[in-house]
Amino acid sequence: MEVRVGGNQYGKAEVRMVAVDREGPRHEFCDLNVGITLSGDLDEVHLSGDNANVVPTDTQKNTVFAFAKEAPVGEIEEFALRLGRHFVASSDPIRRARVHIESAGWQRIAVDGTPHAHAFVKSSDEVRTATAVCEAEAEWVLCGLQNLVVLKTTGSEFSGYIKDRYTTLQETTDRILSTSVTARWRHAGVSGDWPASFEAVRAVMLERFASLNSLSLQQTLYAMAKGAIETRPEIVEVRLSMPNRHHFVVDLEPFGLSNDGEIFRVEDRPYGLIEASILAAGAPAAGPAWDPYPLL
Amino acid sequence: MEVRVGGNQYGKAEVRMVAVDREGPRHEFCDLNVGITLSGDLDEVHLSGDNANVVPTDTQKNTVFAFAKEAPVGEIEEFALRLGRHFVASSDPIRRARVHIESAGWQRIAVDGTPHAHAFVKSSDEVRTATAVCEAEAEWVLCGLQNLVVLKTTGSEFSGYIKDRYTTLQETTDRILSTSVTARWRHAGVSGDWPASFEAVRAVMLERFASLNSLSLQQTLYAMAKGAIETRPEIVEVRLSMPNRHHFVVDLEPFGLSNDGEIFRVEDRPYGLIEASILAAGAPAAGPAWDPYPLL
Amino acid sequence: MEVRVGGNQYGKAEVRMVAVDREGPRHEFCDLNVGITLSGDLDEVHLSGDNANVVPTDTQKNTVFAFAKEAPVGEIEEFALRLGRHFVASSDPIRRARVHIESAGWQRIAVDGTPHAHAFVKSSDEVRTATAVCEAEAEWVLCGLQNLVVLKTTGSEFSGYIKDRYTTLQETTDRILSTSVTARWRHAGVSGDWPASFEAVRAVMLERFASLNSLSLQQTLYAMAKGAIETRPEIVEVRLSMPNRHHFVVDLEPFGLSNDGEIFRVEDRPYGLIEASILAAGAPAAGPAWDPYPLL
Amino acid sequence: MEVRVGGNQYGKAEVRMVAVDREGPRHEFCDLNVGITLSGDLDEVHLSGDNANVVPTDTQKNTVFAFAKEAPVGEIEEFALRLGRHFVASSDPIRRARVHIESAGWQRIAVDGTPHAHAFVKSSDEVRTATAVCEAEAEWVLCGLQNLVVLKTTGSEFSGYIKDRYTTLQETTDRILSTSVTARWRHAGVSGDWPASFEAVRAVMLERFASLNSLSLQQTLYAMAKGAIETRPEIVEVRLSMPNRHHFVVDLEPFGLSNDGEIFRVEDRPYGLIEASILAAGAPAAGPAWDPYPLL
């Protein structure tokens, strides 16, 4: 049986870096988690263990730290592009670099009402993400966020679905809807006002989640993605992954109590999981922007 | 070999409940994780499996849901006391009930600048906690918080420590200090303005963390606890557990770069862990408020 | 801006089920975690919230439980196929079902040297997996495992790699190699002796990991996959994801001690991550077997 | 308001070390997670940040690595005692050291039926633990294990409990009983045949879990602890923490199916939690062996 190497990639995952800007008395800092994935002319390392085409993952890690010193980190999209371009440009066998960055949010601690110069409190476990995919001839940027947890106490229905012999779910015109949003959106280009774009997308997704009377989580997902695309013409595709965090009305009748949508138990597992890609008309082909990440 | 039953306790852990107040168009809700621990005359269930003195943990769970409907949940300290008193009063063999509640924070989603009536976004993974310990003749309340993650980019030193043959750490007058605060504070009584007290304690702990030029994490811990006790006379003891989230200056010399406290790698393990109890002078005895929780 | 729905899928994730076979005094049981993902004619639910084509995820969950009663669960590959075929056959709009099952391993507790009839101890956190992808006209099966954690104390080298200005890693002819294997392998067909095939693949992957003097983790990965394909002709593709769990030699010179590959510190993050698909010559096209799972 | 320092402790947590014995061609290794907690004359570091009495946690970490080289690690109980005695003996202000070690289990990979000389597979996520508590005049050793997950498909009942207005649970004479055992047991002395003692305790706890027809999880807990004390006279106290991993019979009636204890759904939260200390008659006082660990 002959055997061959198919798609493959390797890199350093979860490089945790804090970079402090100490210019002036008022410090700024960024708190990043950087992952790098390289692919290219790498068959031989699989076949014979010849590492001649391999940039060690240790070097990839060093590069993250050195690059953060050689120039200010700046926007995470730009930093991801700088890193990705470097790996493709500096090593011939590397044909594609994917750099994924997660950025944690912090805010200044208030002391006597004044934001402190160098003391911070983590604002949330929500993270902002950026992914740059770089080849010699083409580049792609995906922006995103994860751990954005939202909940509506009403304004959500679910009915009109297929019934079969295994159906027990009751239709409802009023339920809690809650999810933890993971979003990635693809830009048409690789430049722009990244923070403004991010803030606008996040805001409109929250607004659509809140405003839409939801007939299904899919409808909510679509409305959120559509809002992003309509608001920011630089965005050509939005992919969302939204687990349905089920809140069940507790049966209080055994205790002689009514429960008109007031008391809910929250279940961790199982959960619904809704995923979709929503595209702008005429969106350019995605190329390798999404794929093959990950392989499993 | 004769064998006997020593200290013991049992209960239902992690009852996840959302309770919605639907009075009026502007919904309020609380998002709780409730744990109940009972102890008392329970030797026989261990020795022979006789459950005559056992309130099933399933019933404990039901009681949480029913109580949330029978009267508004209100402050988590009050809800914990209501539950704890019930178990001790309603079942003779139960001599002590410990009710621990974690409360997640949410804020309203802004739509066109207006806070929405029934749509929310989780504000943080920080949680507020309350523990009520109830016996027939005495009660205690512990308030607290966890997952309060803070960081200072400067204003932290570490020097003057013991050196021995295993010491390699360099003394420093400028390092990053970061920790995830878990705090519990004991009240002298079991009533008061819980939210005001909580907010004041949280604010002063943050301020002290920010303001103190730290010579050690222990000093910072003490300053935070002292601030709480000085600010709120109803608080007689503060216990803090603070892991030292190490940020190490990356050696950039191999790349011809300096690193004057700018670029840090963050390590998960190992970590320092600092824990202490700080008491107000004349604090009453803690009784079973802290103990034996947990047994291991 | 016109907006359209692209690729999408939905389903119930992490249905945790234990099914006990109580025929005879010697019980058998399986401990499964089942995830279902459906796709098909689902644009309208996104666009308008019309659920007419939606099989609720709650029904999917019910179906798992009911199917486990209607006939013995049997091999997880067969159970995944039964479920997948059902969803495609019973609901016209559903064009493809992906059913993913994780199976936990248990062994009988020995009492006086005899395996007990109905008491078990969990043997490991390693899980066996099966994925069935079903369409009306075609089907695919992926077998696999995850959390298979292995370590070699020697027999691993790393040298001959690209050096650039960010390289500090020293070449080595002797290091610890450790990884947590996630593997999926694609079968040419959808029937066979599943347990025998699984055991043979697992055994040969372990043997190749042990026996090969590794020049790179990629080479080890390839040898493991090649071993599987050569051993079992029914397997046409193997995909592996192998994090490099770094073990670093501790510098003991400051304490006047040598360290000749004896004392290692283990780091959690960052880690190398090696992923590849290895194929049998003439492997049929994978179709949708791997894709689009997940979308992000 | 005067404020004072109460109980306190500090140390390095989760030092991950692998130590390889390379004598001869057949390697042995241990895979440890070491935590150190020191207490003593430490008020001043809290009050003023004076570190004169502080052994840095970085030094504690170094000491773990150096000690593993200076002499073979040997049994984890002995290694914990060596470390604990060192900290108390070498630094006057340190009055008590608690060293806690978790040890992961590995087994040799079989190649052609022969255990390999230097390649291993992790056998389980179960860990063996040892805790040494050292003072100048006294010492204690706690042995233990955690993540020992067990399940019985029958031989478990629950009835005869207190009923009140919040009771809905049905009595049962046949249910699944499953738990993840965390156990710690206190030895009368600080020497002995540690591996033999450990294996005997683990075996008898498993046997009792299997053999007892359980009327409550408390009864099972007691039987397991009693078995350990009766089997090994060197053990004077056993503390167990056992979550009740609920398995609920799925209602299949809506689908026209019976369910006679065959199909169960597994719930993560909430769960019962049973904890107790079981003592040998005449057990010496525990002193600080269990306390104050942790403070919260």
Q: In angstroms, rounded to a whole number, what is the distance separating the alpha carbons of residues C185 and C238?
A: 4
Q: In angstroms, rounded to a whole number, what is the distance separating the alpha carbons of residues B38 and D158?
A: 18
- The answer to whether position D295 is within a domain reads no
Mean pLDDT of B82-111: 98
pLDDT at residue A79, as a whole number: 98
Task: Please list every residue in chain A whose beta carbon sits closer than 8 Å to the beta carbon of residue B18.
Answer: 151, 176, 247, 263-264, 266
pLDDT at residue C223, as a whole number: 98
Q: In angstroms, rounded to a whole number, what is the distance separating the alpha carbons of residues D296 and D293?
A: 8
Task: Please list every residue in chain D whose beta carbon sits closer than 8 Å to the beta carbon of residue C122.
Answer: 124, 149-151
D219 touches B at CB < 8 Å:
yes
Residue tagged 């604990």 (tokens):
D84
pLDDT at residue D1, as a whole number: 74
Q: Residue B6: which of B36, B37, B34, B47 has the closest Cα?
A: B47
Task: Please list every residue in chain C whose beta carbon sits closer than 8 Å to the beta carbon of residue D148.
Answer: 121
Split at pLDDT 50, 70, 90, the class of D261 is very high
Contact C12, A270 (CB under 8 A): yes
B267 touches D at CB < 8 Å:
no
> Choosing from B61, B100, B246, B247, which is the catalytic residue?
B246
Q: Residue B143: which of B207, B210, B191, B71 has the closest Cα?
A: B191
Are residue D111 and residue D187 in the same domain, yes or no? Answer: no
Run of H or E including A66: helix A57-70
Residues with Cβ within 8 Å of residue D90, at least 6 apart in sequence: B164
Angle between helices C217-231 and C194-211 (to 10 degrees): 140
> Choosing from B12, B61, B100, B247, which is the catalytic residue?
B12
Interface test with A, best of C41, C43, C57 (most A CBs within 10 A): C57
Q: In angstroms, rounded to a whole number, what is the distance separating the alpha carbons of residues C36 and C40?
A: 14
Q: In angstroms, rounded to a whole number, what is the distance separating the alpha carbons of residues C242 and A74?
A: 32
Split at pLDDT 50, 70, 90, the class of A291 is confident
Contact C106, C120 (CB under 8 A): yes
Are residue B159 and residue B117 in the same domain, yes or no? Answer: no
pLDDT at residue C1, as a whole number: 74
Other Cβ atoms less than 10 A from the Cβ of C234: the count is: 18
Nearest CA in chain A to C242: A10
Q: Residue C271: which of C165, C153, C177 has the closest Cα?
A: C177
- The answer to whether position A296 is within a domain reads no
Strands A28-40 and A94-111: antiparallel
Are residue A268 and residue A245 in the same domain, yes or no? Answer: yes
Residues with Cβ within 8 Å of residue A132, at least 6 apart in sequence: A77, A80, A81, A83, A84, A97, A98, A99, A139, A140, A141, A190
Mean pLDDT of C222-251: 98
Task: Please list every residue in chain B whose beta carbon sits closer than 8 Å to the beta carbon of residue C165.
Answer: 255
Nearest CA in chain D to B225: D3
Are residue C133 and residue C156 in the same domain, yes or no? Answer: no
Amino acid at site A1: M
Are residues D279 and B4, on separate chains, in Cβ contact within 8 Å? yes
Query: Is a pLDDT exceeding 80 seen at residue D276?
Result: yes
Contact D54, D81 (CB under 8 A): no
pLDDT in tens, D199-228: 999 999 999 999 999 999 999 999 999 999
Query: Is a pLDDT exceeding 80 seen at residue B121?
Result: yes
A259 touches B at CB < 8 Å:
yes
Backbone torsions φ then ψ of D201, nearest 5 degrees: -65, -45
Percent of chain A with pLDDT over 90: 97
D69 touches C at CB < 8 Å:
yes
Query: Where is the domain boundary, A137, A159, A179?
Result: A137
A211 touches B at CB < 8 Å:
yes
Residue tagged 């399933």 (tokens):
B58
Contact C83, C63 (CB under 8 A): yes
Return the CA Rg of chain B.
23
Name the domain count of chain C: 2
Q: Which chains touch B (3 or more CB pairs under 8 A)?
A: A, C, D
Are residue B241 and residue B206 in the same domain, yes or no? Answer: yes
Start-to-end CA span in chain D (Å):
24
Q: How many CB contacts within 8 angstroms connect chain A with chain B?
A: 199
Q: What share of residues in chain C are helix, strand, coil (percent, to 5)?
A: 25, 45, 35
Are residues B111 and A22, on separate chains, in Cβ contact within 8 Å? no
| Structure tokens, D211 | 């053999």
Q: Residue D52: helix, strand or coil by DSSP?
A: coil
Interface test with B, best of A27, A30, A102, A149 (most B CBs within 10 A): A149
Are residues D266 and C154, on separate chains, in Cβ contact within 8 Å? no
Amino acid at site C242: M
What is the residue-wise DSSP string for A104-151? EEEEEEEETTEEEEEEEEEEEEEEEEEEEEEESS-EEEEEEEEEEEEE
Task: Tell me if residue B12 is catalytic.
Answer: yes
Closest-CA distance, D258 to chain A, in angstroms, reads: 14
- Whole-number average pLDDT of chain D: 97
Instruction: Measure CA B292 to chain center.
Output: 16
Are residues A65 and B263, on separate chains, in Cβ contact within 8 Å? yes
Start-to-end CA span in chain C (Å):
24
- The answer to whether position C276 is within a domain reads yes
What residue numbers bound the domain in which B30 lies?
6-137
Are residues D66 and C257, on separate chains, in Cβ contact within 8 Å? yes
Vertex B17: Cα angle to B11 and B18 (nearest 5): 165
Torsion of CA D261, D262, D265, D267, to 10 degrees: 50
pLDDT in tens, C234-243: 999 999 999 9
Query: Is a pLDDT exceeding 80 seen at residue C271?
Result: yes
Q: In angstroms, rounded to a whole number, what is the distance separating the alpha carbons of residues B100 and B134?
A: 11
Residues with Cβ within 8 Å of residue C169, at least 6 apart in sequence: A56, A58, A59, C158, C161
Q: Residue A232: helix, strand or coil by DSSP?
A: coil
Percent of chain D with pLDDT over 90: 97
Closest-CA distance, C211 to chain D, in angstroms, reads: 8
pLDDT at residue D291, as a whole number: 78
Torsion of CA D208, D214, D220, D226, to 10 degrees: -60
Query: Where is the domain boundary, B116, B137, B158?
Result: B137
Task: Please list every residue in chain B whose beta carbon sits closer than 8 Å to the beta carbon of residue A119.
Answer: 150-152, 155, 206, 209-211
- The answer to whether position D2 is within a domain reads no
- The answer to whether position C63 is within a domain reads yes
Q: What share of residues in chain D are helix, strand, coil (percent, to 5)?
A: 25, 45, 35
Q: In angstroms, rounded to a whole number, what is the distance separating the alpha carbons of residues D87 and C283?
A: 62
- The answer to whether position D1 is within a domain reads no
Return the CA Rg of chain D.
23
Task: Tell me if residue A69 is catalytic.
Answer: no
Are residue A153 and residue A66 in the same domain, yes or no? Answer: no
pLDDT at residue B76, as a whole number: 98
Task: Please list every residue in chain B whose beta carbon sits closer than 8 Å to the beta carbon of residue C166.
Answer: 255
User: Within a 13 Å sphere around the CA of D97, how many CA atoms are in the beta-carbon half?
Assistant: 29
Are residue B152 and residue B203 in the same domain, yes or no? Answer: yes
Nearest CA in chain D to B33: D270
pTM: predicted TM-score of the whole model, two decimal places: 0.97
Are residue D190 and residue D61 in the same domain, yes or no? Answer: no
**CATH number of the domain encompassing residue B117:** 3.10.270.10
Closest-CA distance, C168 to chain B, in angstroms, reads: 7
Q: Residue C201: helix, strand or coil by DSSP?
A: helix
- The answer to whether position B1 is within a domain reads no
Split at pLDDT 50, 70, 90, the class of B12 is very high
Q: Which parts of C34-181 fold into alpha helices (H)?
A: 43-48, 57-70, 76-90
Other Cβ atoms less than 10 A from the Cβ of D260: the count is: 10
Run of H or E including D93: none
Are residues B124 and A122, on separate chains, in Cβ contact within 8 Å? yes
Are residue B26 and residue B160 in the same domain, yes or no? Answer: no
Nearest CA in chain C to A268: C14
Query: Where is the domain boundary, D137, D161, D188?
Result: D137
Split at pLDDT 50, 70, 90, the class of B212 is very high
pLDDT in tens, A136-191: 999 999 999 999 999 999 999 999 999 999 999 999 999 999 999 999 999 999 99
Beta bridge partners of D238: D185, D278
Q: Residue B206: which of A113, A21, D9 has the closest Cα?
A: A113
Mean pLDDT of C217-243: 98
- The answer to whether position D262 is within a domain reads yes
C165 touches B at CB < 8 Å:
yes
pLDDT in tens, A208-242: 999 999 999 999 999 999 999 999 999 999 999 99
Other Cβ atoms less than 10 A from the Cβ of C169: the count is: 16
B15 touches D at CB < 8 Å:
yes
pLDDT at residue A31, as a whole number: 98
Mean pLDDT of A264-293: 94
| Structure tokens, D123 | 């056998």
Nearest CA in chain B to D65: B166
- Whole-number average pLDDT of chain C: 97
Q: Residue C28: which of C67, C84, C61, C72 has the closest Cα?
A: C72
Name the burial class of residue D114, with classes exposed (0-12), middle (13-18) and buried (19+) by CB atoms within 10 angstroms of its CB: exposed
pLDDT at residue C291, as a whole number: 77
Mean pLDDT of C17-31: 96
Are residue B152 and residue B228 in the same domain, yes or no? Answer: yes
Query: Is a pLDDT exceeding 90 seen at residue D294?
Result: no
Query: Is a pLDDT exceeding 90 seen at residue D264?
Result: yes
pLDDT in tens, D16-73: 999 999 999 999 999 999 999 999 999 999 999 999 999 999 999 999 999 999 999 9
Angle between helices C194-211 and C76-90 (to 10 degrees): 120
Q: Which parts of chain D fold into alpha helices (H)?
A: 43-48, 57-70, 76-90, 194-211, 217-231
Query: Is a pLDDT exceeding 80 seen at residue B291?
Result: no
Are residues D42 and B218, on separate chains, in Cβ contact within 8 Å? yes
Task: Please list every residue in chain C whose beta carbon sits closer than 8 Å to the beta carbon of residue A280.
Answer: 1-3
Q: Report, as residue numbers or ranges, the catalytic residues of D.
A: 12, 57, 246
Query: Is a pLDDT exceeding 80 seen at residue D167?
Result: yes
Query: Is a pLDDT exceeding 80 seen at residue B137?
Result: yes
Query: Is a pLDDT exceeding 90 seen at residue A296?
Result: no
Mean pLDDT of B103-120: 97
Query: Is a pLDDT exceeding 90 seen at residue A67?
Result: yes
Q: In angstroms, rounded to a whole number, what is the distance separating the alpha carbons of residues A209 and B109?
A: 9
Are residues B18 and A247, on separate chains, in Cβ contact within 8 Å? yes
Task: Please list every residue in chain A whose beta carbon sits closer than 8 Å to the beta carbon of residue B214.
Answer: none
Are residue D12 and residue D96 in the same domain, yes or no? Answer: yes
Q: In angstroms, rounded to a whole number, what is the distance separating the alpha carbons of residues D143 and A238?
A: 53
| Structure tokens, A175 | 């339920």
Query: Is a pLDDT exceeding 90 seen at residue C55?
Result: yes
b/e for D11-44, b at 16 or more Cβ within 10 A? bbbbbbbbbbebeeeebbbbbbbbbbbbbbebbb
Split at pLDDT 50, 70, 90, the class of D295 is confident
For residue B115, is the peptide bond before it cis, meaning its omega torsion is within 30 degrees of 0?
Answer: no
Q: Which chains touch D (3 or more CB pairs under 8 A)?
A: A, B, C
Split at pLDDT 50, 70, 90, the class of C295 is confident
Mean pLDDT of D108-126: 96
Are residue C132 and residue C253 in the same domain, yes or no? Answer: no
| Structure tokens, C52 | 């007419």
Split at pLDDT 50, 70, 90, the class of B1 is confident
Other Cβ atoms less than 10 A from the Cβ of C280: the count is: 24
C211 touches D at CB < 8 Å:
yes
pLDDT at residue B294, as a whole number: 78
Lowest mean pLDDT among A35-39, B22-26, B139-143, B213-217: B22-26
Q: In angstroms, rounded to a whole number, what is the distance separating the alpha carbons of residues D23 and D142?
A: 31
C169 touches D at CB < 8 Å:
no
What is the residue-wise DSSP string for A175-206? --EEEEEEEEEEESSS-S-HHHHHHHHHHHHH
Residue tagged 């306790």 (tokens):
B9
Q: Residue B4: which of A138, A188, C135, D225 has the closest Cα?
A: D225
Mean pLDDT of A290-295: 78
Split at pLDDT 50, 70, 90, the class of A294 is confident
